[in-house]
Amino acid sequence: MKNEGIEGTERFLSPGKGRGLRAVRHFSVGELVFACPAYSYVLTVNERGAHCEHCFTRRDDLFKCGKCKQAYYCNVDCQRGDWSMHKPECLAMCAYGENWCPSETVRLVARIIMKQKVTTERTPSERLLLLREFEAHLDKMDSEKDELNQADLAALHHFYSKHISNIPDEQSLTELFAQVNCNGFTIEDEELSHLGSAVFPDVALMNHSCNPNVIVTYKGTVAEVRAVQEINPGDEIFDSYIDLLYPTEDRKERLLDSYFFTCQCTECTTKSKDKAKMEIRKLSSPPEPGEIQSMVRYAKNVIEEFRRAKHYKTPSELLEMCELSQEKMGAIFADTNVYMLHMMYQAMGVCLYMQDWDGAMSYGEKIIQPYSVHYPAYSLNVASMYLKLGRLYLGLERKTQGVKALKKALAIMEVTHGKDHHYVAEVKREIEDQK
Ligand SMILES: [Zn+2]
Ligand SMILES: [Zn+2]
Ligand SMILES: [Zn+2]
């Protein structure tokens, strides 16, 4: 394939940001700017059996790979289409049995290596940016990141060296892992459940803004980029790399740590949403600045502690952690404070996992209004929250509230996903079924 670019856009040098993507024509809100098929992708282990490994279609009549009995497909075509990518993993899973446990990044990198072997030309995923042009930021890696990188490298050799010939040398692999860490994407469904990991070189060309003018959604394993603000010729096109719930200081920290740059977008300069995000409870005697600071420190610690605890604590222990931390933070923070919301969101997730629908619903009801204030106008976080809430209401026979919430989700998704997306059709059907 020769380089034909992407119609309506161009690659350019963005002042202070390096390369970026710029519009050369006008795009209206909801318009598709471009689509990009995944260069490589991998379905997450937890979704095996629920989604096709090849096309990511969600259905309940998939059939499994006869050899490993772990990978599932729509039909023979999907299985054949996936075989070159699945083969090394299939053999490794058969050989290692229960001891097969590479991380998702390792699995993705193995697939990238396989793809690179059979690719000689520019792929349709690389119309403006080649995978090998990805930034690695190797010079900015600290010892902690270096250790993680080396562990991934060792795991790749351990699980795949017998099944992939000519694995690149150590230096190339170190670079490849770093490139994937800075430029990789996670694919999520309409409720933001994690489905897998992928690389989309052209999508990775976009720089970040905390007030983005496009949003990335997925149709199977294809990324779609849609305008969520009016974009004029000459405007730079920005997506967001991170969850935008948090205040400026937290976002900057996250961007610097994961992507090695200091964000200077309008949101980061004006900090216009920080006050609402950090809302303090109305008390007869307002808290001292020191008390607020120490509560913010506590909140950040508990968020980190909870993230780790998810891997080993029981659901009821996790729920208790959520409740205790909310009680403690609630002495100073308002219920609309993002740290309170973070723990409520986690609690809602645990309730959903435990099939405690009433519990999940009451957390969802507390979260949804402040979410709509803190996030930008068109947000996948807000849409997915309306969707979860609407589905919970309908499951609990609260028809009017259910339909109302689903309509709110739909209004956002028609812009972020496009009117013809299968997720949009599904939500429309759910609303229709209530008539
Ligand atoms: Zn399929
Ligand atoms: Zn298999
Ligand atoms: Zn920013």
Residue 381 Cα to ligand 2 middle (Å): 34
Fold of 273-432: 1.25.40
Distance 118 CA to ligand 1 centre (A): 22
Nearest ligand to the CA atom of 61: 1
What's the CA-to-centroid distance between 195 and ligand 1, angstroms?
Answer: 14
Q: What is the pLDDT of residue 284?
A: 87
Ligand 3 centre from 408 Cα, in Å? Answer: 27
Which ligand gives the minimal distance to the CA of 55?
1
* d(CA 221, ligand 1 centre) in Å: 10
What's the pLDDT score for residue 277? 98
Q: How far is the CA of 70 from the centre of ligand 2 (A)?
A: 6
**CA of 262, nearest ligand number:** 3
Rounded distance from Cα 204 to ligand 2 centre (Å): 30
Ligand 1 centroid – CA 218 distance (Å):
15
Q: Please give the distance, rounded to the nearest whole angstrom, from the Cα atom of residue 56 to the centre of ligand 1.
A: 6
Distance of CA 265 from the midpoint of ligand 3 (Å) = 4
Nearest ligand (C-alpha, residue 75) = 1
Q: Which ligand is nearest to the CA of 63?
A: 1
| 244 alpha carbon – ligand 3 mean position (Å) | 9
Residue 156: predicted pLDDT: 97
User: In CATH, which superfamily holds the domain spanning 1-38+200-272?
Assistant: SET domain (2.170.270.10)
Tell me the CA–centroid distance for residue 64 and ligand 1, in Å: 11
Cα 144 to averaged position of ligand 3 atoms, centre (Å):
25
Q: What is the mean pLDDT of each run of 10 residues along the chain (435 residues)?
A: 80 95 98 98 98 97 96 98 96 95 97 94 96 94 92 96 92 96 97 98 98 98 98 98 98 96 96 97 91 97 97 96 98 97 98 97 98 97 98 97 98 98 98 94
- Give, as residue ranges, everything with CB less than 5 Å from ion ligand 2: 65, 67-68, 71, 90
Domain boundaries, the chain: 1-38+200-272, 41-186, 273-432
Say how many Å lie between the CA of residue 77 and the centre of ligand 1.
8
- Residue 148 Cα to ligand 2 middle (Å): 28
Query: Which listed ligand is nearest to 89 at the C-alpha?
Result: 2
Distance 141 CA to ligand 3 centre (A): 22
SS3 of the chain: the string is CCCCCCCCEEEEEECCCEEEEEECCCECCCCEEEEEECCEEEECHHHECCECCCCCCECCCCEECCCCCCCEECCHHHHHHHHHHHHHHHHHHHHHHHHCCCCHHHHHHHHHHHHHHHCCCCCCCCCCCCHHHCCCCHHHCCHHHHHHHHHHHHHHHHHHCCCCCCCCCHHHHHHHHHHHHHHCEEEECCCCCEEEEEECHHHHCCEECCCCCEEEEEECCEEEEEECCCECCCCECEECCCCCCCCHHHHHHHHHHHHCCCCCCHHHHHCCCHHHHCCECCCCCCCCHHHHHHHHHHHHHHHHHHHHHCCCCCHHHHHHHHHHHHHHHCCCECCCCHHHHHHHHHHHHHHHHCCCHHHHHHHHHHHHHHHHHHCCCCCHHHHHHHHHHHHHHHHCCCHHHHHHHHHHHHHHHHHHCCCCCHHHHHHHHHHHCCC
CATH 1.10.220.160 is the classification of domain 41-186 = yes
The pLDDT of residue 166: 87
72 Cα to the center of ligand 1, angstroms: 8
What is the Å distance from ligand 2's center to 160 Cα?
Answer: 14
Ligand index nearest the alpha carbon of residue 56: 1
Ligand nearest 71 Cα, by number?
2
